[in-house]
Structure 1
Amino acid sequence: MLRKISYFVLLVVLVLAATASAQQQVDKDYLDWSQLPELPDELGRAGVFVGVHNDAMIVAGGANFPKPVWSSDKQWHDEIFVLTKDASTESGFKWHEGGKLPRPLGYGAAVSTERGVVCMGGNDAEQTYSDVYLLRWDPEAESIEIESMPSLPSNCAYSAAAQIGNTIYVAGGTSGLGLETAMKNFWALDMSTMDEPEGFEWQVLRAWPGESRAFNLVAAQHNGQADCIYVMSGRRVGQDGEAEFLTDVYEFNPLLYDASKYDAQTQDYAGESEPWKQQKDVPQCVMAGTAIDVGQSHVFVFGGADGSMWGRANELKDEHPGFPKKLFVYHTITNSWVESDDLPANQVTTNAVRWGDDPVKDPVIIASGEIRPRVRSPKVWAATPVPSSKNFGWIDFSVIGLYLAGITGIGVFFSFRNKNSDDFFRGGQRVPWFVAGLSIFATMLSSITFIAIPAKAFMTDWVYFLVNMGAVAMAPVVIVFFLPFFRKIDATSAYEYLEKRFNRFVRLFASASFIFFQIGRMAVVMYLPALALAAITPLNEIQCILIMGVLSIIYCTMGGLEAVVWTDTIQTFILLGGALLSLILIVYRLEGGFDTLISTASANNKLNLVNWDFSSVSFATTALWVVVLGAIGQSLIPYSSDMAVVQRYMSVNSLKSARRSIWTNSIAVIPASILFFGVGTALFVFYKSNPAQLDPTFKNDAIFPLFIARELPVGIAGLVVAGVFAAAQSTVSTSMNSIATATVTDFVRPFSLIRSERTFLRLGRVMTFVFGTLGVTLALMFATSDIKSLWDMFMKILGLMGGSMCGLFCLGIFTTRTNGPGAVIGAICGALGLYLVQEYTQMHLLLYAVVGIALCVISGYLASFLFPASTTFVEGLTIHTLESKKADSN
């Protein structure tokens, strides 16, 4: 009977999925177009240098044909026009005359930088140039300042450029006036060395493996792993003397390039890895078009010439239909193209620029350009990305409402079972072992992980899967070397052990670090998922935070640890169930089903599990040894020294049950990791097959919420969103209860300030409410203030203490000579040393945990010899002095 019910439920889900997918329409309006004031030259210009500096758009040089265009000669210009924002005008903008270029010039490349607009190369009627100029807008003087920069390695026109970080990359172009001089060139200029006269010069890099070209496009975008340069399309003269219209695309990854291994004279490259990779061709030739990054992984290609009218311009003249009004959208992660008619005009031989720093919210500007042979347009277009619509109805809200009501009810139920502080902080040690194990699992699997793991698998592969397996590998280590000490001293707070082993100061130091970190963690665990939920539901960020936070405060304050662990257990099934349903629906939507999933993922190396890199720079990659060490360190820290986890060890009634809870968590990690990485891989295959369903305004980390919002059927979307809420609340509730436990147990009880158990119980509830409110308030501050960078720094500094906390426990358990002063010095040195590693090395972040632990242990042990041996009684507190008979007092 149970099997029949399961089949029926699955059938209903699939029918709903089919119905939903049939009703959904792909919105091809990628951009919202508007017009800005036209260029002051009514004829318009092609080949202009366009960029943005000091919140002003600069348009310089270019060329056009005076009327009548078919019987006049091309004229080059040197005027510089500047468009600024001006609220006093009807349009909100105002054109200025900014001065003149050193000579009439056009058809070069331009890049906007913090220092100004860099204009590179170009030509006039007589020759091609290698000159490079920096144009800076002075808003007070209302004029352009021009500064000469190092010349290009060769004369160059009809090229294109883009920037990654401080480095400008130039690709393609002609060295002379004719297309037969098209080059295969790739140059770079590091703007950060601008103030170093000897080192500020262009570098000749290894070029793409394809043909030489001019009129090509260049864009910079992230490919899910690194910022890359994309060289697209173009035109050249073939061996038969006829024009070739190119559609090929090449990706250059700077992280894989070793400049010291390239000989520019012989063009030989001896690097260990290949920096260039050929990608999927553009659907048609887009020579002389313009491209720009949009969002975190899209490149928009605006029009371009397809070559279909090549050689017929004089024949067609005014009857020429103009260049195709096509927008091509490229997704770097899935390597796929989408063609759209969302282009009001096709203005070629200009370059698209972004007026602002936000690749989603700020508009892309296309100023002037050529619309058909010899004819220019003075129009200036602004295009702003359009986010996808939200498909979230009352049924979805009903599902979420039922979940939230049920979770709150659990808190009310367990509130009647809390008679003293031991009930509130440790559940009276009557929590079943499997519930404690699932609570550990839910605590470690936060809402960030619920969203981030599928996103990581979508963008990369399964290399990080081994990191999750660290929990399995470390389970016996924790059971054998750490668990007996917590159970032996019957700890309520994990940091009680540190006082018995060292002194009270070490205990308070560790506990305070834990409390501050968990307050911040609560905020980020509520804030970051709220960003994703606000993008896919009608709720805003503040409402999402309040729903997660306030309800967590209610059931934690009322029900204590028992309410937390039981809700964690329920939330585990909800979040896993939501992810499993999503995976089933994704596979169902794929043509070819599971076979397509495996074959496509394999063909694109998305199932890669190991990175066999043992080179001298492998410490900065996800090489196997880096991942293994990272897995050990990142798993050892929470399971050996995190109060939120150790508290679960103490909530069961025996050492045997505590061991079972650890194994329960470890075993649950395996199918959960397979499930979440599987969802990420399935999302890659789905969107590679359906690239039009991608939304350029969504961040890569929100790919799972995007699927939830646009692809899941009514009701199922609500269930999966409930899973996001569940993942967030499981972590938040744990933090609230463990912070309250640490505060009361470490900072109040040892000083005998309170003697009544009922008063301790009240204080525990008050502290839960206070710290929960503090966490919610901090999350609301993140949502209403632009302090993300401060938060990053805050988390980075506090995160440094994780390795030190684990190091303290390792020092206490595995050594007998380490004393209190040495332990504190070790913790400080561990945090300081890790900070220096983060700031001044390229070491991969997976190694941070191991480095932090090692530095703390080594420096703490050595520093202990600077002080007299400890007189603290350590019998039974180290593995060397633990009694042979480890009887559990409980």
Structure 2
Amino acid sequence: MATPSCFRPGVRVEPKFDGDYTFNTGHVKSFTILDYTIFLLSLLIPILIGFHQAWQGNTELVYYMLARRSMSYIPVGLSLLASFLSAITIIGVPAEIYEHDTLYVWVGLSFCIVSAASAHIYMPVFYKLKINSVYEYLELRFSRKVRAVGSCLFVIQMVVYMAIVLYAPSITFNAVTGLNLWAAIVSVGLVCTLYVTVGGVRTVIWTDSFQIFVMFGSALAMLFAAMATVGTTTMWESAQRTERVLFLDFGLNPTLRHSVWNLFFGGGFSYLALYVNQTQVYRCQTCRTLREVKIALWMSFPGHFLYLTLCLIIGLCMGAFYENCDPLQAKLVANANELTPLFAQDILSIVPGLPGIYLAGVFSATLSTMSSGLNSISIVILEDYIRVYVKSKLQQDKQRLILQIISVIFGFVCLEITFLVSKFGGILEVKILNALDTQDIH
């Protein structure tokens, strides 16, 4: 491949950084055997956690479904945080900062509203009712039909979203690094289905707790490598020069792309709706006391804000690194969603194994999202349909088996939908990749 043409509008310029970087060589680095080994290890550990929970010898239904309501606020809080930091967030936020500015930080601040409202208004109601499906509240408040409709819509939305979360990062890494698309999709999908089916909600919570450390570790590795390559002074001067530093915009013009109002309040209310759905409420029900539920929910605010801050700084480093050679204009990538993986390959490849840690971090986020989704779907179907409409009383071991069968079925349904999505291509594929823009629905 020829060396790319690096230019500002109308003026060809030389890249600012010398080295074995894409804008100097014209080709993107691929993952090594060590990188793939680290990635496979990140898939193996959740499986071991799942089988460890199964080998505990606790076959009773309340253990599989609710962990006997004995979980500490620490793993539950980490699990809630992990499920909100999807692969779409990890890839999309730095690209948002690169393409626009730092105003997006207000989304992280909006989690203060979300944490307060969910911990002190909504969750106390659900916790005191001791309901396993949040949609049971709809029957108590309205009718059984409303409950059934709400559950059905949740299942459809979650299955589609899991397919997007699985497909979007896979196709992005495939485009940038040549990562085998279907090997990544199938392996991640099967691993997630396996450990959720075997271990139940306790496995979901503990694997999320492991995965959040992998996600933060990969972000910190990328941040340190970026700062070492670019430098603090260069990053800040470039950010000011390119007008990426913007923290206050209280404009009321509805045509503005972003303002403090729509990011803080709009983002807050959007995330609040996600905080009171089945995936979050159900895990909170595993806590020992309501006080621990509130602590777990409040943990997500500093965690989410810290992670967005890391992504913000990485985005500013990207801006400085590619200031003289925009990968989009140089045709190094096809769209903005591929910027972050490209940057990761450029700056992390100097240390063997670091790209593998970043890859593990991205797909750990995918696993955390899928695992909470699969587990929640199985509970919703059991609670809102089987227990409601099947009149015969089912034994506990049969109910557990039903939960496991549902998890397996919907794990394969998710893979099938992902396969169907890939066949549409064109406009639909572009729309799915646009989910990587920071309008993250998770």
TM-score by length of 2: 0.89
* 8 A contact 2:65–2:201 mirrored in 1: yes
Structure with the larger strand share: 1
1:668 corresponds to 2:303: yes
Q: Which position in structure 2 is the counterpart of 1:678? A: 313
- Structure 2 residues not aligned, in runs of 5+: 16-24
The structure 2 residue matched to 1:704, chosen from 340, 343, 354, is 340
Give the greater-gyration-radius structure (CA). 1
Secondary structure of 1:634's counterpart equals: helix
Alignment CA distance shift 1:638-1:691 (3 Å): closer
CA displacement, residues 334-357 of structure 1 (integer Å, 9 cap, x when unaligned) = x984469xxxxxxxxxxxxxxxxx
**Matched residue, 2:354:** 716
**Does structure 1 residue 474 correspond to structure 2 residue 109?**
no
Q: Quickly say closer, same or farther: Cα 1:674–1:389, change in 2 above 3 A.
A: closer
| Aligned counterpart, 1:372 | none
TM-superposed CA distance for 1:609, in Å, is 1.4
**By how many angstroms is 1:628 displaced?**
2.7
User: Is the 1:421–1:764 Cα contact (8 Å) retained in structure 2?
Assistant: no
Listed one character per residue, the Cα deviations across residues 625-659 of structure 1 (whole Å, up to 9, x for unaligned) are 2223212211211112x111111211111101101
Query: Is 2:258 aligned against 1:581?
Result: no
Cα distance in 2, alignment partners of residues 431 and 331 from structure 1: 55
1:441 CA drift (Å): 0.9
Cα deviation code 1:176-221 (max 9, x no counterpart) = xxxxxxxxxxxxxxxxxxxxxxxxxxxxxxxxxxxxxxxxxxxxxx
In structure 2, what residue type is equivalent to 1:581? A
Q: Work out the CA distance in 1 between the residues paired with 2:359 and 2:11.
A: 28
- How far apart, in 1, do the equivalents of 2:382 and 2:41 lie? 34
- Deviation string 1:48-71 (CA, Å, 9 cap, x unpaired) is xxxxxxxxxxxxxxxxxxxxxxxx
Q: Which residue of 2 aligns with 1:29?
A: 3
> Could you say what the CA RMSD is over the residues aligned between the two structures, in angstroms?
2.7
What is the match of residue 40 of structure 1? none
Structure 1: stretches of 5+ with no match in the other structure: 1-26, 31-327, 341-385, 797-844, 850-890
Q: What displacement does 1:748 show?
A: 0.9
2:84 pairs with 1:453:
no
- 1:242-253 matched pairs, under 5 angstroms: none
Deviation readout 1:507-563 (Å, 9 max, x if unpaired): 111111100000001100000011122134443211111111011011111111111
Distance 2:11 2:107 in 1: 30
Residue 741 of structure 1, aligned match among 360, 379, 402: 379
Matches within 5 A, 1:435-584: 435-584=75-224
Find the aligned partners of 2:236 and 2:333 in 1 and give their Cα distance. Answer: 28
Aligned to 1:773: 412
Q: Which of 505-514 and 626-635 deviates more? A: 626-635
Tell me, in whole angstroms, the C-alpha distance in 2 between the residues paired with 1:572 and 1:581.
14
For the structure 1 residues 584 and 562, does the alpha-carbon distance in structure 2 shift closer, same or farther, using more than 3 Å as the test?
Answer: same
- Return the letter of the residue paired with 2:377: I
Written as runs of structure 1 = structure 2, the 5 A alignment for 1:585-734 is: 585-590=225-230, 593-614=231-252, 617-618=253-254, 620-640=256-276, 642-688=277-323, 696-713=332-349, 714-734=352-372
Higher RCO, 1 vs 2 (CA within 8 Å, ≥6 residues apart): 2
1: CA distance, partners of 2:12 / 2:353: 32
How far residue 598 of structure 1 moved from its aligned partner, in angstroms, is 1.8
The correspondence for 2:394, drawn from 755, 758, 762, is: 755
| 1:394-428 residue CA offsets vs partner (Å, 9 max, x unmatched) | 11111112221112111111123452332222222
Whole-Å separation in 2 of the counterparts to 1:705 and 1:331: 22
Decide whether the 8 Å contact of 2:98 with 2:318 is kept in 1.
yes
Task: List aligned pairs for 1:383-394, cutoff 5 A.
Answer: 388-394=27-33
Give the AA of the match of 1:696: L
Distance of aligned partners of 1:708 and 1:624 in 2 relative to their CA distance in 1, 3 Å threshold: closer
Partner of 1:415: 54
> Is 1:783 matched up with 2:419?
no
User: Conserved in 2, the CA contact under 8 Å of 1:548 and 1:729?
Assistant: yes
Q: What CA distance in whole angstroms lies between the structure 2 residues aligned with 1:400 and 1:336?
A: 41
Counterpart-to-counterpart distance in 2, 1:403 and 1:601: 35
> Percent same amino acid among aligned pairs?
24
Distance in 1 (alpha carbons) for counterparts of 2:415 and 2:423: 12
Q: Label 1:497 to 1:331 Cα distance change in 2 as closer, same or farther (>3 A).
A: farther
Classify 1:338/1:415 alpha carbon distance in 2 versus 1 (closer, same or farther; 3 Å): farther
For 1:727 and 1:663, how far apart are their aligned partners in 2?
A: 20
Q: CA 1:685–1:582 in 2, change beyond 3 Å: closer, same or farther?
A: same
Amino acid at match of 1:757: Q
**Aligned partners of 1:689, 1:463: CA distance in 2, in Å?**
23
- The answer (yes or no) to whether the contact 2:7–2:325 under 8 Å persists in 1 is no
2:21 corresponds to which residue?
Answer: none
CA distance in 1 between partners of 2:300 and 2:423 (Å): 36
Counterpart-to-counterpart distance in 1, 2:135 and 2:327: 53
Read off the aligned partner of 2:236 and give its amino acid letter: I
> In 1, are the aligned partners of 2:173 and 2:338 still within 8 Å (CA)?
no
Q: The residue matched to 2:7 in structure 1 has which SS?
A: strand
**Deviations 1:654-709, CA, capped at 9 Å, x for gaps:** 10110111011122112111111111111111111565896533421121100222
Name the CA distance, whole Å, in 1 between partners of 2:105 and 2:402.
Answer: 42
Query: What does residue 406 of structure 1 align with?
Result: 45
Q: How far off is 1:457 after superposition? A: 0.9
Asked if the contact 2:14/2:324 (under 8 Å) is kept, the reply is: no
